[in-house]
Structure 1
Amino acid sequence: MKQIQIIDAKNHVGETVKIGAWVANKRSSGKIAFLQLRDGTAYFQGVVVKNEVSEEVFQLAKSLTQETSVIVTGEIREDSRSKFGYELGISNVEVIGESQDYPITPKEHGTDFLMDHRHLWLRSSRQHAIMQIRNELIRATYEFFNKHHFVKIDPPILTGSAPEGTTDLFETNYFDQKAYLSQSGQLYMEAAAMAFGKVFSFGPTFRAEKSKTRRHLIEFWMIEPEMAFMHQEESLEVQEQYVAFLVQNVLDNCDYALDVLGRDRAVLEKYTNLPFPRISYDDAIDLLIKNGFDDIQWGDDFGSPHETFIANSFDRPVFILNYPKAIKPFYMKPHPTREDVVICADLIAPEGYGEIIGGSERATDYEFLLEQIKNHGLSEEEYSWYLDLRRYGSVPHSGFGLGLERTVTWISGIEHVREAIPFPRLLNRIYP
């Protein structure tokens, strides 16, 4: 007899199969027991009818506790009443591992309690749906960049310097010298782009930022493409195509997860319409001031309320272009006609989810970069390898970084980024 996974039930209608699963929930009447089963691929219902099985099997089914692991045997049937579309008519139940007093019950639990039990909370249908969307974004990321002939390059996690300053870095000892957990692989990706043309990295990054907002994690995953022979406008086109591709693939492949989360597909479909709107930093400041934001002036970075208001002025993600040089990293290309801004853009997600992409065209002039490194109090020696990229065949190049968890949060329509990663690291949490 074949053992299958729940997700493959549609391929075995009318067949008797075995499934290894956990009992997520259970209800019973005098003559029927309904088991809500999950196996990691999907959820569906198993039905045990008293007069179709032995008394022993029926009593066992009725006594099963939440999260007990079982192997169930039965016939796959179509079930038009369920969103999944199929159920299992159970003929036998074998208990593999009992579960007693499972702490996460169907009742309401506080956030701290759920976070303390994150290792178990991941089993719930909502968390399962969020992780399915995360998994789809990862899969679609590889598909998009492979299709467009990018090469995946893995930058180091331990670095001897900081691409965006040292204030938010985790420092560690590297034998007889200091090292830092990477806050971005970008500088290394620039080196890789000079070797391979178009590259991307996908890995963990770390920010020792003492923030408790719903948008911040201490450890998160970044997708960082870098493209040689490419100016900023072309990079913006890649960015919007990539984001629209991610949204479309979730719409195409995560139907059940979107149902569980109650995410409005019509809203998501709007985000696949290209091009995305663009607004300059100058105009964004004017927009805010005209609408009563007295707490901001030219030269300030945007906070969450500012980004939300700007995003709500459009019906899709919006690029904010050309920020002041003083609030951006040293490596960005200066504007050709202005001293005060650099060629860069942040992509702001709709619905109050904030920045999901930061990117820029990179400075290519050796003397300019050397001066910037000195002005930022950075070590010329530590960045000598980065300056070499401008000495040996420098070309126009652009790149960006997309935060995976913020994108998962936005597309899933959930409130807090902590649910968008399996085991979140927050300012006050490193357990479990």
Structure 2
Amino acid sequence: MTTAYIEQIGRYAGEEVTVQGWLRSRRDSGKLHFLTLRDGTGDLQAVVSKAAVGDEQFALSARLTQESSLKVRGKVRAEKRAPGGYELEVIAIELVQLAEPFPIQPKEHGTGFLMEHRHLWLRSHRQHAILRIRHEIIRACRNFFDDRGFVLLDAPIFTPNACEGTTTLFQTQYFDETAYLTQSGQLYSEATAAAFGKVYCFGPTFRAEKSKTRRHLMEFWMVEPEVAWAELADVMDLAEEFICAIVERVLENRRADLQALERDIAKLERIRPPFPRMTYHEAVAVLRKKGNPIQPGDDFGGDEETLLSNEADRPLIVHRYPSALKAFYMQSDPAHSDLALCMDVLAPEGYGEIIGGGQRIHEYDKLLNRIKEHHLPEEAFRWYLDLRRFGSVPHAGFGMGIERAVAWICGLEHVRETIPFPRMLYKLYP
């Protein structure tokens, strides 16, 4: 007997198959039971007739509870009114486990309750759609860089030093040394870029910011390309092409999931190059004109990013922030030494930053001075300085947070639904 996945059930029209899954819901109508089965690939209506299965099997179907696991054998037939256009005429049911009363019912539940039951909430249609889109975005990221000759070389999670700021590190004991959970794979990608030319790393990153905003997680995933012989303009172009490719891929393969989330697809269809670009100082002027009290030299927060990106119909690239606001490794603008050759890409509709990056310092003396200015331990960065001693070249890159990209593309209010098990401030369970 063929075991079929629900997403492929149409291939077996007129045939008998077995479907393995869980009971999403049951509806009774006299001598018929309508079971909605899910198997992770989709939903399928299974019709149980007392005449077809007999008294014992019909009684079994009557006592099935939500999320009970079972194997159902039956004949596939086309039915326009059924989910997916097909249904299963049940011949036999094998109960694997009768589920206890399911805590998540078809009623309004608070976010706190749902997060406590995240391990079960993942089974809902909404979470299913979000996480399938996340999968598509990740697949699109890999394909984009693979197709352009980049080499995937992942960076370590344990690091001996900070990448950006010592106040946002998770510290851990590494035998007789102190180690930190990585904030970014960028520094290591600079080393691999000097070996391979075009590289990217893709993995979890950790920030110990005590932030409870809708855009922050303590653990999130980043894809980070790094390119030798590249400058700021090159990675701005690369980021633009990258975002367009991801959105196009999701629209092509996950349109039904976007519709299930009631996402305004027309807004995503407008994501086309070129993206508008402005300098930091131009952005400050725009913000002040909109009534924001920001002063030149202040960093952008969520309010500023929302204001800048709220009315845009495509991502906005803001570049050349003050060097004082950026990490120690950022190259300065030759024309304005107080500005960094950096950029942020702000997603439209008020979603704010999804990409940050820029050009790195490639001169040994300049980098050493910057390390000292930031009071960083020179010994911990000896290997990083070595990259400027042996064949240093201009190089640049960026990082995109997967969860923020998912939130924007799905149209979500908060990043907590963009990853299977979010790690937030004061939230480590389950």
8 Å contact kept, 1:84–1:256: no
Helix, strand or coil: the match of 2:332? coil
Structure 2: distance between partners of 1:127 and 1:139: 18
Structure 2: distance between partners of 1:83 and 1:142: 32
Single out whichever of 69-78 and 211-220 deviates more from structure 2: 69-78
Structure 1: distance between partners of 2:289 and 2:83: 48
Asked if 1:382 corresponds to 2:380, the answer is yes
1:399 corresponds, among 392, 397, 400, to 397
Structure 2: distance between partners of 1:171 and 1:246: 34
Q: Which residue of 2 aligns with 1:134?
A: 134
Residue deviations 1:347-367 (CA, integer Å, cap 9, x gap): 111122211000101111111
Residue deviations 1:27-55 (CA, integer Å, cap 9, x gap): 11113221111111112222223333322
8 Å contact kept, 2:22–2:67: yes
Structure 2: distance between partners of 1:71 and 1:324: 62
Single out whichever of 23-32 and 53-62 deviates more from structure 2: 53-62
Helix, strand or coil: the match of 1:71? strand
8 Å contact kept, 1:220–1:404: yes
Segments of 5+ residues of structure 2 without an aligned counterpart are none
Helix, strand or coil: the match of 1:381? helix
Q: Which residue of 1 aligns with 2:282?
A: 283
Residue deviations 1:386-420 (CA, integer Å, cap 9, x gap): 11111111111110000011111111111110111
Q: Percent identity?
A: 53
Q: Which residue of 2 aligns with 1:10?
A: 10
Q: Which residue of 1 aligns with 2:419?
A: 421
Residue deviations 1:326-375 (CA, integer Å, cap 9, x gap): 01001111001002211111011112221100010111111111110000
Helix, strand or coil: the match of 2:387? helix
Structure 1 399/407 Cα, relative in aligned 2: closer, same or farther at 3 Å?
same
Q: Which amino acid aligns with 1:276?
A: F
8 Å contact kept, 1:212–1:427: yes
Helix, strand or coil: the match of 1:409? helix
Matches within 5 A, 1:20-169: 20-82=20-82, 84-169=84-169
Q: 1:83, CA displacement in angstroms?
A: 5.5
Q: 1:226, CA displacement in angstroms?
A: 0.3
Residue deviations 1:45-82 (CA, integer Å, cap 9, x gap): 22223333322222222221100001011122233335
Asked if 1:343 corresponds to 2:312, the answer is no
8 Å contact kept, 2:313–2:349: no
Helix, strand or coil: the match of 1:383? helix
Q: 1:109, CA displacement in angstroms?
A: 1.1
Residue deviations 1:119-158 (CA, integer Å, cap 9, x gap): 1111111111111111111111111111011111111101
Q: Which residue of 2 aligns with 1:228?
A: 228
8 Å contact kept, 1:322–1:344: yes
Residue deviations 1:9-44 (CA, integer Å, cap 9, x gap): 122222211010100111111132211111111122
User: What RMSD in Å do the two structures reach over aligned CA positions?
Assistant: 1.3
8 Å contact kept, 1:74–1:92: yes
Q: Which residue of 1 aligns with 2:291?
A: 292
Structure 2: distance between partners of 1:290 and 1:224: 34
Structure 2: distance between partners of 1:63 and 1:270: 50
Q: Work out the number of aligned pairs and report it.
A: 430
Q: Which residue of 1 aligns with 2:186?
A: 186
Please, what TM-score do these two structures have when normalized by structure 2?
Answer: 0.97
8 Å contact kept, 1:83–1:256: no
Residue deviations 1:287-346 (CA, integer Å, cap 9, x gap): 01011112x111111111211111123210111111110010011110010022111110
Q: Which amino acid aligns with 1:279?
A: M
Q: Which amino acid aligns with 2:4?
A: I
Structure 2: distance between partners of 1:138 and 1:79: 34
8 Å contact kept, 1:247–1:268: yes
Helix, strand or coil: the match of 2:22? strand
Structure 1: distance between partners of 2:81 and 2:32: 17
Q: 1:428, CA displacement in angstroms?
A: 0.9
Structure 1: distance between partners of 2:79 and 2:141: 34
Structure 2: distance between partners of 1:221 and 1:132: 16
Helix, strand or coil: the match of 1:205? strand
Q: Which amino acid aligns with 2:344?
A: D
Structure 2: distance between partners of 1:85 and 1:229: 53
Structure 2: distance between partners of 1:429 and 1:309: 29
Helix, strand or coil: the match of 2:337? coil
Structure 2: distance between partners of 1:312 and 1:79: 44
Q: Which amino acid aligns with 1:290?
A: K
Q: Which amino acid aligns with 1:377?
A: H
Helix, strand or coil: the match of 2:379? coil
Structure 2: distance between partners of 1:244 and 1:204: 23
2:361 corresponds, among 350, 360, 363, to 363
Structure 1 290/399 Cα, relative in aligned 2: closer, same or farther at 3 Å?
same
Q: Which amino acid aligns with 1:420?
A: T
Asked if 1:173 corresponds to 2:166, the answer is no
Q: 1:235, CA displacement in angstroms?
A: 1.1
Helix, strand or coil: the match of 2:338? coil
Q: Which residue of 1 aligns with 2:273?
A: 274
